[in-house]
Structure 1
């Protein structure tokens, strides 16, 4: 049996699904071991489910998974708070082995009892609309199917996994650099040749970055790291050789453009490609910070855009963390008293962030929901 990386669930969420999503395929046991903490979480969830008060007012009794769905989307159908979805799934902790995947066409059944709710996997049996049969938990292995749905809209963040980087120091200053193009051009696009100097390794594929710019903490004004704007990719055509008068520069061809490649742009090897599927979850403790910047040239950001946060791995930030966005309360004049004065209104929550890339002191997050434009300096906390 050929094994491929699943397009479904990561281990943490998988531990909460096994036994409920009982007809989906799963990986061999050695690939995704269940940690003691995950097993403990699974046992707690198995005993609880979610309170009925956490269900969406219009939560259906059944839902048929559609192509293009994500677990985040489906959770929004059933729950008021989407990131709490692991608590919704019924399961059998005696049969926790490895992750199941969810596929278009599968029927999810909402089971309510004793003031709690769980989801189970059902099978459409035809007849009257909504007729289903709930399936008994079991574990079976089979080949993986790339039709499985993802936990969040993967296409929104995948391009940024290799493109958005933060350096602790401005090490791109010493990286190989583009110094010339054909026919005295200043800017290069896909298919153009570029000539570079510097210390190249054995790699043949390179990312092209503009000079890194500092990311300044809105609170402390300290430099948190250096963000290198992504320009595109280039492939090695001929390696350079020699030095001094005998130097032959390295020749590359531009293979992809986000912006035109310019003289002085820096080259960094393309890292090995890895697939990451993310399980949204709340931080384990209180978190508070500020938006550092909007990725790219925009001043404000909306839904599905990327922002940099002034908290990173050293602050306990993790991939998959869900955070609340807050709108600062306005300063208003109270004219209902004899001597009108200024009063600041309370901050109001108006959006949700999803952390998908974490560096030492900075993280990148996707804006999942938002009511008003997001700007640098806006506040975030645990949800």
Structure 2
């Protein structure tokens, strides 16, 4: 099976080869491969690096001349604000001014190197990326509940800039960190990119809510990674940009298997396989007991749920919630889990909610279940507010 990032790449580039697109469409700048162009012969006497000749050529085409070189005190303020978002200290200004008198080029290079090495550089640059991916510390909408774990993604982006992480790695980790490096906490944190959608807990129409979430991820992925807005193609072939309606939904299909996770196990592939094998042994040995416990517990918990409770959902969603995980399809599990976020289940209250013979039977079953505790594997550490999938194929 191809890794998720590779499949996504196929989705992104396939439209370029469709017969519906003109040469102009195919020439869109963000679709072009990265290349190293020849440096133009421009900016003689002014250009100080390989970028300046390109600027000089563009200025000359517009019959413009470069601005005069900034005075040292002005230059350090501009560069420091640009790279760190903060002003230089008076001592830094004085030091740069003195160094610029004897060797301005060396003074400037040393200044830039110092600022790039500053932790403030990553904080400054991360702000632009976080805005693009619609990062927020809360859910949005009216309730706007806080997201206690969201800061981990913010710090991941800051650390990536400060570590000069290769851009291709930066992208792959956010799209499929759980697949390319599942034992790496940093890579799993990157999948929080897939969790930034706005959310409100009181939506009865959970299926439409889930569709809106997938649309949001698709739209933002187009904005961030394709450098073009794709959302217009949700309803029709885009009138201006080179994306068709069918390609919008082919791109969205890539995200269809998404499963938000609040307790993603951490560990090496071997450790997770060992855990899964031991967990399977425990589940097999306790299947009958757990089924009987579920038959007692689920109706009581759903009947005593909070946040308007189980009753607000339609019959289809109720049926999905009632099913055991292994009996659900991938789509049913997505909808059931999204619905359960809205239901306040309180298993800790079962001892006081259960009465009479039902409580006695429940206690007996719990005692029977405890006899198998030696089979249970030691729990792996987990991470919250990350993402994986319900399987390699998009649910229908």
TM-score normalised according to structure 2 size = 0.23
Higher relative CO (CA 8 A, sep ≥ 6), structure 1 or 2? 2
Q: In proportion to residue count, which structure has more helix?
A: 2
Structure exhibiting the larger radius of gyration computed from Cα positions: 2
Q: In proportion to residue count, which structure has more strand?
A: 1
TM-score normalised according to structure 1 size = 0.23
